[in-house]
Amino acid sequence: MPSTVRALTYADAGVDIAAGDRLVRNIGPLARRTRRPEIVAGVGGFAALARLPRGYREPLLVTCTDGVGTKLRVAFALDRHDTIGVDLVAMSVNDLLTIGAEPLLFLDYFATGRLDVRRGTDLVRGIARGCREAGCSLVGGETAEMPSFYPDGEYDVAGFAVGVVERRRVVDGSGIRPGDALIALPSSGLHSNGFALARRVLLERAHLRLDRPAPGLRGTLGDELLRPTRIYVRTVRALLAAAPNGAVRGMAHVTGGGLPGNLPRVLPANCRALVRRGTWRTPPIFPLIQRLGNVPRAEMDRTFNNGVGFVLVVAAAHAERVAAYLRRWRTGARRIGEIVRGARGLEYVAPDA
């Protein structure tokens, strides 16, 4: 007897192959706009191929990976996904930059319960924008549709970056000395860290609305929280090319852990960072969180960037020249302290201490 049981398809199980094909077609033109001349084969195959750029005598490859974290919850709530990709790129290429590396390649991993082509395209559009800002190529990635694993409308993303640096131009912090200057580049806001605490304070305790203005902020709270992470690659790479070798002795990307958790990572054992409070502009989102959540200052320091997104440790003899160069780029760079002799770590002092 013929079977009366209906034949099942992959789509019945929740995986839409046709949607995946549409997303890949949308991604192609976005990736092509990021293509560097070294790319031999990129999106579309099983793997990407690239040559090393010309001009390197002893090139070292540098790799980084990161995600966006619970900032995604804000994107889900607003159904806005075009800036998250910038964050994804920024978190990896800014890490590469701390070594002095030039970002070359970027890949992403995008996993969702049910693939929405519009959301996926918006996400990759942001990734491509971030790659263009960083000067690297989006060469591939993976889209995983996993029914019942993620709630409808939600996803997770991870990013993977590859860069290159000349061995003699590696910036590893080993040359840092007492007397060196700390020069900070400003953040654009929260960047991609501390969102568990920010959401707890702003949305759960203070009951603020994402689609409404918040006290002291321009635009809506959602606009502020989804403001993308600043990418520092072009500015810092230009500085490294213009400055004498050894002028910039260390660099730190300020992410989770804030200044206390990140700047000491590049310091030698006998060097301590002395950071002068009040020497940089703090975006209003940070005092808003501190006030509404009654968050202790020490907790703010170790959770958020508080307005400092990237720090350069510069030889004292070159500090003024480097600061002047960065001012010409209109970066908002500020001298925020110096290196002193002591146990590796960081301490805050008053501006005039």
Identify the bridge partners of residue 347 per DSSP, sorted by sequence position.
274
* H or E segment and range at residue 62: strand 59-67
The mean pLDDT value of the chain amounts to 91
Residues 166, 168: Cα–Cα separation, whole Å? 6
Buried b vs exposed e over 14-34: b needs ≥16 C-beta within 10 Å?
Answer: ebbeebbebbbebbeebbeeb
DSSP percent split of the chain into helix, strand, coil, nearest 5: 35, 25, 40
The pLDDT, as a whole number, for residue 44 is: 67
- Walk me through the domains of the chain, giving residue ranges and CATH numbers: 17-44+56-169 (3.30.1330.10), 181-349 (3.90.650.10)
Q: Which residue has the tokens 């619970």?
A: 70
Sign for the CA dihedral angle at 163, 169, 173, 178 comes to: negative
Question: What is the per-residue pLDDT for 15?
Answer: 67
pLDDT value, residue 7: 65
Q: Six-digit token pair at 133?
A: 């800002």
Instruction: Tell me if residue 263 falls in helix, strand or coil.
Output: helix
Q: What are the tens digits of pLDDT across the range 210-228? A: 999 998 898 999 999 999 9
The interaxial angle of helices 233-242 and 117-134, nearest 10 deg, is: 10
Q: What predicted TM-score, i.e. pTM, was given to this entire model?
A: 0.92
What's the pLDDT at 20? Answer: 67
- Phi and psi, residue 243, nearest 5°: -80, 155
Which residues of the chain have a pLDDT value below 70? 1-4, 6-17, 19-21, 42-44, 353
Three-class DSSP labels, 191-258 = CCCCHHHHHHHHHHHCCCCCCCECCCCCCEHHHHHCCCCCCCHHHHHHHHHHCCCCCEEEEEECCCCH
